[in-house]
């Protein structure tokens, strides 16, 4: 599940520049106004050092594979010689993609050519800097030095494909080749930017895009158990949070208010993949009294999310946040903001390393009236202290893992941000001791100060081997599927 901006825009092929600007304005208006926290516009951050999350070259765009290679894409007149969707995507990427350093024209064109060859059923192959057809026809692959040169090269290649491939070949029919080329280009940027072609977008229309699924579907799935709570011994509240939907912050606040005498909170974000930016900021604001919670670093500017001074009791409770390798996007933003804002300690496993925020642009083809869309990463979330976790994840203060735990998306060899105080391992056949360990830490810590929580965690972790057998599971202490 992706953390997304809360708007979409429809773009007509005949006026893509005006509609693109309108779509971007909608996105940032929603970002700025929907949260109770304050938003402050800043200059774009010049983050120190290279990201460890550089996207490796791929021959096969996973975005296109996720669409199922629907055969309906290969019907009707070929669009590869017109490239309406492709050209609009190039404009949006050039103007709005959050990290211009990832826009590498030569690499993009190479990915396009490779993907066309891979899906040609043997009709095409790449030989060095040349694309060779089974007929013997050869096309020298140019080396573009600007993203604007890519549509020209792809259109030239498309005209060759249409005239030289058999009429029934998928690459010579419908939107198949154009969709493939567009997603091959996007695959060089990040795993989440993708084109949703005509038909595939119908389930997402009029809803924010969240990891390829509509928010309406997520709302329907989460109505029954969006926020689950249980009161543990010593008045400790265990909250397991589902997707960050518009109603989620209110449900968390209601759970906090109806529990009197709460001595601490265990915020369980294991398996949480986040949701909308607005809900993410509001959830953090429930527990942070003041200061910058997040910075959304866009292409041309940045936006700081600042906690509102609303003096909630929850802003001063002892807090432990549970994370694992499936904690992603908005879930990581909440965990990281509380950890690096000195409000909580983290227990569990290294998070996945997904800090990107996306918006869904919709555009309609003028001639056929078909609706398509582009899910594009427009900002990167940066934690307090300008800490970057994209591609590396966040390390828990106390690692609690079993041998069977799944690994996250974070790039192997890239160190996560934060430092581990201790590691506690348990047998996969045993109950997960994380919640019980969290309860002990909250009970032992004299105050809600992060230093006191860390000291209690260090003391308990030292004897964890002896204590693990006596840990009792919370009613909510079941690993997410």
Evaluated on CA atoms 279, 280, 285, 286, the torsion sign reads positive
Query: What three-state secondary structure class fits 439?
Result: helix
pLDDT of amino acid 127: 94
Burial class (CB in 10 A: 0-12, 13-18, 19+), 412: exposed
pLDDT of amino acid 33: 32
Judge contact between 384 and 341, C-beta under 8 A. yes
| Segments in 165-196 forming alpha helices (H) | 176-187
More confident residue, 94 or 67: 94
Judge contact between 438 and 424, C-beta under 8 A. no
Residues of the chain with pLDDT > 90, as a percent, come to 51
Half-sphere exposure at residue 351, Cβ-oriented, CA atoms within 13 angstroms: 37
- pLDDT for residue 453 is more than 90: yes
The confidence band for 451, taking pLDDT boundaries of 50, 70 and 90, is very high
The confidence band for 409, taking pLDDT boundaries of 50, 70 and 90, is low
Q: How far is CA 373 from the centre of its chain?
A: 17
Report the range out of 5-9, 334-338, 359-363 with the highest average pLDDT.
Answer: 334-338
Q: What's the average model confidence in pLDDT over 202-219?
A: 38
Half-sphere exposure at residue 394, Cβ-oriented, CA atoms within 13 angstroms: 36
Judge contact between 246 and 4, C-beta under 8 A. no
Cα separation, 24 vs 359, in Å, equals 9
Q: What's the average model confidence in pLDDT over 46-67?
A: 55
Tokens of 69: 């290679």
Cα separation, 203 vs 187, in Å, equals 22
- Every domain of the chain and the residues it spans: 64-190, 217-356+383-470
Tokens of 192: 């989440």
Weakest mean pLDDT among 226-230, 264-268, 275-279, 425-429: 425-429
Helix (H), strand (E), coil (C) string for 408-436: CCCCCCCCCECCCCEEEEECCCCCCCHHH
The string of pLDDT tens digits covering residues 102-111 is: 999 999 999 9
Query: What three-state secondary structure class fits 179?
Result: helix
Weakest mean pLDDT among 14-28, 158-172, 266-280, 450-464: 14-28
The whole-model pTM stands at: 0.83
As a residue count, the chain comes to: 481
Paired residues of 41 in beta bridges: 303
- Type and span of the H or E element at 305: strand 301-306
CATH topology of domain 217-356+383-470: 2-enoyl-CoA Hydratase; Chain A, domain 1 (3.90.226)
Residues of the chain with pLDDT > 70, as a percent, come to 73
Cα separation, 104 vs 110, in Å, equals 10
Query: What three-state secondary structure class fits 314?
Result: helix
Burial class (CB in 10 A: 0-12, 13-18, 19+), 50: exposed
Cβ-Cβ contacts under 8 Å for 313 (sequence gap 6 or more): 256
Judge contact between 189 and 377, C-beta under 8 A. yes
Cα separation, 187 vs 453, in Å, equals 42
């Amino acid at each position: 599940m992706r953390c997304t901006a809360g708007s979409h825009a429809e773009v007509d092929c005949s006026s893509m520049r005006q509609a693109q600007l309108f779509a971007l304005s909608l996105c940032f208006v929603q970002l700025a106004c929907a949260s109770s926290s304050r938003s402050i516009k800043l200059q774009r951050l010049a983050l120190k050092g290279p990201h460890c999350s550089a996207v490796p070259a791929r021959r096969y765009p996973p975005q296109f594979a996720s669409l199922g290679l629907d055969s309906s894409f290969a019907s009707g007149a070929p669009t590869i010689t017109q490239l309406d969707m492709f050209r609009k995507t190039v404009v949006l990427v050039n103007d709005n993609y959050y990290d211009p350093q990832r826009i590498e024209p030569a690499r993009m064109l190479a990915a396009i050519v490779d993907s066309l060859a891979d899906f040609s059923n043997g009709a095409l192959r790449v030989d060095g800097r040349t694309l060779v057809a089974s007929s013997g026809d050869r096309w020298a692959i140019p080396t573009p030095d600007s993203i604007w040169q890519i549509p020209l090269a792809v259109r030239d290649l498309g005209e060759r494909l249409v005239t030289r491939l058999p009429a029934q070949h998928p690459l010579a029919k419908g939107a198949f080749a154009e969709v493939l080329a567009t997603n091959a280009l996007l695959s060089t940027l990040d795993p989440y930017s993708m084109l949703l072609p005509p038909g595939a977008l119908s389930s997402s229309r009029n809803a924010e895009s969240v990891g390829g699924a509509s928010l309406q579907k997520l709302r329907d799935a989460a109505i029954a158990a969006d926020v689950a709570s249980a009161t543990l011994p010593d008045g400790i509240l265990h909250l397991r949070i589902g997707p960050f939907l518009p109603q989620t912050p209110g449900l968390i606040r209601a759970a906090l208010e109806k529990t009197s005498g709460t001595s601490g909170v265990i915020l369980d974000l294991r398996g949480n993949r986040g949701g909308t930016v607005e809900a993410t900021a509001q959830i953090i604001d429930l527990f942070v009294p003041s200061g910058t919670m997040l910075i959304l670093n866009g292409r041309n500017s940045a936006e700081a999310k600042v906690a509102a001074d609303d003096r909630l009791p929850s802003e001063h409770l002892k807090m432990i946040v549970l994370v694992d390798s499936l904690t992603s996007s908005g879930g990581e933003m909440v965990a990281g903001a509380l950890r690096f804002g000195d409000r909580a300690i983290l227990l569990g496993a290294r998070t996945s390393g997904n800090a990107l925020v996306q918006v869904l642009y919709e555009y309609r083809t003028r001639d056929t009236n078909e609706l398509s869309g582009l899910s594009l990463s427009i900002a990167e979330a940066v934690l307090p202290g300008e800490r970057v976790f994209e591609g590396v994840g966040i390390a828990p203060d106390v690692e609690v893992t079993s041998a069977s735990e799944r690994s996250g998306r974070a790039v192997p060899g890239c160190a996560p941000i934060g430092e581990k105080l201790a590691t506690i391992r348990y047998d996969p056949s045993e109950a997960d001791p994380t919640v019980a360990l969290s309860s002990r830490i909250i009970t032992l810590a004299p105050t809600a100060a992060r230093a006191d929580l860390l000291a209690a965690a260090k003391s308990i972790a030292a004897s964890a081997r002896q204590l693990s057998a006596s840990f009792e599971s919370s009613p909510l202490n079941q690993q997410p599927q």
